[in-house]
Amino acid sequence: MLHLLPLSILALLPLSTSTPLTKSTPLPLIIWHGLGDNYDADGLHTVGDLAIETNPGTFVYYIRLDENPDSDKTATFLGNLTEQIAQVCADLASHPILSTAPAVNALGFSQGGQFLRGYIERCNYPPVRNLVTFGSQHNGIAKYQACGPTDWLCKSWIGLLKGNTWTQYVQAHLVPAQYFRSTNDTTGEPDADYLEHSNFLADINNERELKNATYAANLAKLDKFAMYVFEDDTTVIPKESAWFAQTNLSSGHVTALRDRAIYKEDWIGLKALDEKGGLDFKTTKGGHMALSDKVLVEVFETYFAPGKAKKASWDGVVDRVQELIEL
């Protein structure tokens, strides 16, 4: 008796007569966009198309919090990150293709990078094999970004954020506030308000006294975690946050990740990952999210090509799907 895969799976597979599925088919790629963007944006799909062109057969999934693009964009400003990441965990775990893969690769743009890391630490099913982030605020932001002259949504939440960052309402509703990190002006270390009230960042960075061992275990399982800093980034303050560095804005002194307690005491698995050669610090020219095709292709070839992924049960799934396609 022939057991057919559901039509919903076949409809989503990256089928092409010129690039049939083979055992060298790359792992699926999940992409999480940044603030003010949406999963259906042309620019984001251009990135996905380039990933497919570089590694034919790649199945690309654009993470979304709502099927309506406008609502998905609004969710980058408004929402509770704990609830949003739980929703993404449920969506990916129930996805007909992603849930059958032995692993996926992940690409995060700006705030989407630390959200993907939150996904890995908190649920990680399907598990992420390689994570690449561009200009992400892994160690938080010390200032909120400036709004465009006609970006009224941005202007409205910036107005609410001023002086209200640590209120329960703001921490439960305004996304950028949940990765804001306030520090002591003298030491540069996180202050009491942040440690007590942060809804997201203080938790996934395991900065509170009680540590979550699962977070460290999950992140340490990655093969590669590549973190890109934009050399001329003036949107993310401080830009070194993309490397988990801590910057004292008063003195300008930057404490590199390897000199910080989060690394030395391995709060989230970065030291274990680094010791096995899995932590890459990268820079790219230009301002925030000024990405060239050349840089993206290099990422796709270096971190997401089939030869970079350990093959497991995905080969069996590929065999079965190709068999059904040819019927």
Do you know the residue count of the chain?
327
pLDDT above 50 (res 46): yes
Catalytic option among 33, 95, 138, 288: 288
pLDDT band at 251 (very low <50, low <70, confident <90, very high): confident
* Direct distance between the N- and C-terminal alpha carbons of the chain, in angstroms, rounded to an integer: 14
* Beta pairing partners, 141: 180
For this structure, is 185 an active site residue? Answer: no
- pLDDT at residue 17, rounded to an integer: 30
**Residue 172, pLDDT score:** 96
Residue 23 confidence (pLDDT): 56
Tell me the HSE value of 269 on the side-chain side, using a 13 A CA sphere: 21
Q: Going along the chain, which residue ranges are E strands?
A: 29-32, 60-62, 104-109, 128-134, 224-230, 246-247, 254-255, 279-284
Considering the candidates 33, 72, 95, 110, report the single residue annotated as catalytic: 110
Q: What is the domain partition of the chain in residue ranges? A: 7-141+214-317
Distance CA 320, CA 40 (A): 30
The DSSP output letter for 185 is: T
Residue 280 is a catalytic residue: no
Active site residue 288: yes
**pLDDT tier, 312 (very low <50, low <70, confident <90, very high otherwise):** very low
Of 203, 233, 266, 274, which residue is the catalytic one?
A: 233
Residue 245 has pLDDT above 90, yes or no: yes
* Biggest CA pair distance of the chain: 72
Architecture of the structural domain at 7-141+214-317: 3-Layer(aba) Sandwich (3.40)
Residue 271: its H or E element: helix 270-275
Quick: pLDDT tens for 222-244.
999 999 999 998 899 899 999 99
Buried b vs exposed e over 230-248: b needs ≥16 C-beta within 10 Å?
A: beebebbbbbbbbbbbbbb
